[in-house]
Chain A
Amino acid sequence: MSSSLAIEPELDEAPSEEPRRADWLGHGRAAGWRDFKALPMPHRLDEKWRFSPVKDLDLSVYNRALPVPPAVREGLIGRCSGLAESAGRMVFANDHLVEREVYSKELARKGVIWAPIEKAAVEHEEIFRRHFMTQEVVLGSKKFAALHKAMVKSGVFLYVPRGVEVELPIEVFHWLHGAGASSFPHTLLVAEEMSKVTLIDYFESADADAPGFACGVNDLHLGPGANLTYVSVQNWSRKALSFQINSTVVSRDASALSMNLNLGAAVARAESVSRLVGTGGRSDMLAVTVASGAQQFDQRTLQDHQQPNTTSDLLYKNVLSDKARTIFSGLIRVEPHAHRTDAYQKVRNLLLSDDAEANSMPGLEILADEVRCSHGATSGQIDEEELFYLLSRGIPPPAAKKLVTAGFLNEVVERLPSRAVKDKLRGLIEARQ
């Protein structure tokens, strides 16, 4: 384990034509770098890193990603496989914007801001600054959030004004190219009062076997009554190290549904926090993980009920084969005055191999009254009678297991509101099995 980096932030990068950026984004960079260097690397005795493969977090082998040559760029744009219909699409390669297409009028409508963050930080400084990395990182990855802040170059800023509904999903592709390259993708979404939007992030490696490092931050802010569906498809190379720090802030009567589809990386850690800060808010936290080979997925969650009459519903499902490992640690916290809260947390592990290992650590911290809470984690193998039933219809064992597995994960996928998105995710899961 080493916290020394082959990469260094571009602290002196302050071209004269962008003085305002140098003012504060550059300032944040320096602060992030200081914090990163000052904070300790995770230790296996740290409760927030319990069971984590902390010895595999060697950052010294990664380097700064270079801009990709035009021919490669075109190739990657061509490989972006999203939905048949979307409102728009942005493509990043090694943290450089390489394509931005707007397909739907709704997205071009007055008031919707959809721009790479380095542009948004300058052109919409006030609103950007009000939301950029304002959420405290509480699940263990403070050091990596600081690193992100120091290194972030690009990503998406999406601002949906009051009452605006964007019907079709917006898609963003992040490509990592080059052996040992690193990426710091950022997503900042602000959905104002009574707005509605769906955003999908795809994280992919150009070379499925190249080592790489990703350290991303997603911040989703929902105004009163806003409705957001957010999907992240983590499909980095099977040799990548990935950190994803997600936060959702749900205001009064707003509804957020987030889905993490975890397919790629050798070691991936995802921290997801939902903060219910207004009465009547709701957050659905979903995840599907397909773990095989020696992959390790480490998922940490917090459902933070700060106000009364709020609801959170977490459903995480993991399918493990070979020697794969998953870790889940989740906490439901209901603050003293957050009465009449409904909070659910359900983790299901399907073990397809005797060598696979699933660790689940559900937790509750309830300080209010009149609360409905349930949490539970189970692990099991494919039911023998169910398998025999499929075999008895002539379905060969490998196909039967695949079908049962897809069915197991389908319960999560079905929670998404859009048919097209559901079909897309099912296709990605099937291709991965």
Chain B
Amino acid sequence: MNSLIIKDLHVSVAEREIVRGLDLEVERGKVHAIMGPNGSGKSTLAKVLGGHPDYRVTSGEVWMDGVNLLELEPDERSRKGLFLAFQYPSEVPGVSIANFLRAALQARLGEGEELEATDYYAKLYEKMALLEMDRSFTARSVNENFSGGEKKRNEILQMAMLEPSYGILDETDSGLDIDALKIVANGVNSLRGPELGILLITHYQRLLNFIVPDYVHVMMQGRIVLSGGKELAFELEEKGYDWVKEEAGELAAV
């Protein structure tokens, strides 16, 4: 029950099939990494799980803790416990981080319930300290004029505040220098625990030195072609993806 299950998922964007029969199960408490070359469909998988309107599921199923995820609107998915950390987070001009997060938390309360301001700010400041973010950040417009590192920290801050059951981190390491990467990784690691399942989407093995996964999967041409433990990441780093291509080719040929 307590897992995110993807069964034979097919996804098209503008009539082109990008994800072609993907199977994966992410349990709560575990970190799964998906690696793969550019164009393998990794980011499409993240977007479609989030419910982006441009991505069309042509067949397959996605279940989150027993709930049919594909029947839910994007905002419902979030409130039910899914979190998507964007590779390229949007700017929301004129809306401060404090107001943005307050609206997101308010949406999780019942009708007539009001968010308690003191508790909210106490929690916000605590999570910001964790991510080494200055308090003045709360007054800045969401992602507007943020550096790459600030944007990614802001994504993890939101995850920390919204306490999802499943976090999908799409290329969270892209555009980060080593110091920023360490801070972001520390933030993610601090959130790890039995209640949270993480799907880490990345192109590079580097991130996995800091967020050590329980499982590593290789995605190519829209499906998982190879799965293994964390050592698989090192193998990929050493040998590149071509080796997997050959092996996957053999598998496909069998």
- 7 A-B pairs with least C-beta separation: A407-B94, A410-B94, A394-B78, A407-B95, A389-B90, A391-B74, A393-B104
Q: How far is the CB of A404 from chain B (nearest CB, A)?
A: 7
Alpha-carbon separation in the docked complex, A386 to B51 (Å): 14
- Write out the residue numbers on chain A whose beta carbons fall within 8 Å of the beta carbon of B158: 393
Question: Which B residues touch A408, using CB under 8 A?
Answer: 93-94
Query: Looking across the interface, which residue of chain B has its beta carbon closest to that of A385?
Result: B90
Within 8 A of A (CB), among B46-74: 50-53, 73-74
Q: What 1/0 flags go to B78-92 for Cβ under 8 Å of A?
A: 110000101001111
A392, A403, A409: which contacts B103 (Cβ < 8 A)?
A: A403
Q: State A400–B141 Cα separation when bound (angstroms).
A: 15
Report if A7 contacts B (CB, 8 A): no
Q: Is A388 an interface residue (CB 8 A)?
A: yes
Residues of B near A383 (CB, < 8 A) are 90
A sample of 29 cross-chain residue pairs with beta-carbon separation below 8 angstroms, ordered by A number, consists of: A383-B90, A384-B53, A388-B52, A390-B100, A391-B74, A391-B75, A392-B51, A392-B74, A392-B77, A392-B78, A392-B86, A393-B104, A393-B158, A393-B162, A394-B78, A394-B108, A395-B104, A395-B107, A396-B107, A399-B107, A400-B75, A403-B103, A404-B92, A404-B95, A406-B94, A407-B94, A410-B94, A410-B95, A414-B94
Chain A, residues 258-291, CB within 8 Å of chain B (1/0): the string is 0000000000000000000000000000000000
| Chain A positions within 8 Å of B141 at CB level | 407
The distance in angstroms between the C-alpha atoms of A383 and B94, with both chains bound, is 14
- Are B53 and A393 in contact, with the CB atoms below 8 A? no
* Binary CB contact string for chain A from 384 to 428 against chain B (1 if under 8 A, 0 otherwise): 111011111111110110011011111100100000000000000
List chain B residues, Cβ under 8 A from A406: 94-95
Chain B positions 152 through 168: 1 when the CB is less than 8 Å from some CB of chain A, otherwise 0: 00000010001000000
- B residues less than 8 Å from A399 (CB atoms): 103, 107
What number of residue pairs across chains A and B have CB atoms under 8 A from each other?
Answer: 80
Q: Is B209 an interface residue (CB 8 A)?
A: no
With a CB–CB cut-off of 8 A, which chain A residues contact B104? Answer: 393-395
Residues of B within 8 A of A (CB): 50-53, 73-75, 77-79, 84, 86, 89-95, 99-100, 103-104, 107-108, 141, 158, 162
Are B86 and A403 in contact, CB atoms less than 8 angstroms apart? no
Interface centre among A391, A393, A396, A410 (most CB of B within 10 A): A393
**Which residues of A are found within 8 Å of B89, using beta-carbon distances?**
389
A403-B99, A403-B103, A410-B94 as given contacts; A388 in contact with B162, CB under 8 Å = no
Kindly list chain B residues whose C-beta atoms are within 8 Å of the C-beta of A385.
90
* Residues of chain B with a CB closer than 8 A to A391's CB: 51, 73-75, 78
B53/A388 in contact, CB under 8 A: yes
Nearest chain A residue, comparing its CB with the CB of B82: A392
Known contacts A392-B78, A406-B94, then 15 further A-B pairs from the complex at CB < 8 Å, ordered by chain A residue:
A388-B52, A388-B53, A389-B86, A391-B78, A392-B50, A392-B51, A392-B77, A393-B100, A394-B79, A394-B162, A395-B75, A400-B103, A403-B103, A404-B92, A407-B93
Q: What distance in Å separates the Cβ of A403 from its nearest Cβ neighbour in chain B? A: 6
When distances are taken between beta carbons in the complex, the residues of chain A under 8 Å from B94 are: 406-411, 414
Residues of B near A396 (CB, < 8 A) are: 75, 107
B75 touches A397 (CB 8 A): yes
Interface residues in A25-55 (C-beta closer than 8 Å to B) = none
Residue contact A388 to B107, C-beta cutoff 8 Å: no
Q: Which residues of B contact A384 (CB under 8 A)?
A: 53
- Quick check: A388 and B74 within 8 Å, CB to CB? yes
A96 and B99 CA atoms in complex are apart in Å by 41
Residues of the A chain whose Cβ atoms lie less than 8 Å from the Cβ of B53: 384, 388
Residue numbers in B under 8 Å from A386 (CB-CB): 90-92
User: Of B52, B75, B90, B93, which one neighbours A394 at CB under 8 angstroms?
Assistant: B75
How distant is B121 from chain A, measured CB to nearest CB, in Å? 17
In the complex, are the beta carbons of B84 and A392 less than 8 A apart?
yes
B95–A403 touching, CB < 8 Å: yes
Q: How far is the CA of A399 from the CA of B107 in the complex (A)?
A: 9
Docked Cα-Cα span, A284 to B108, in Å, equals: 41
Q: For B107, list chain A residues within 8 Å (CB).
A: 393-396, 399
List B contacts of A388 (CB < 8 A): 50, 52-53, 74, 90
Which chain B positions have C-beta within 8 A of A403? 92, 95, 99-100, 103
Tell me the smallest distance from the CB of B62 to a CB of chain A, in Å: 15
- Shortest CB-to-CB span from A335 to chain B, Å, is 35
Residues of B within 8 A of A394 (CB): 75, 78-79, 104, 107-108, 162
- Bound together, the chains give a CA A396 to CA B106 distance in angstroms of 10
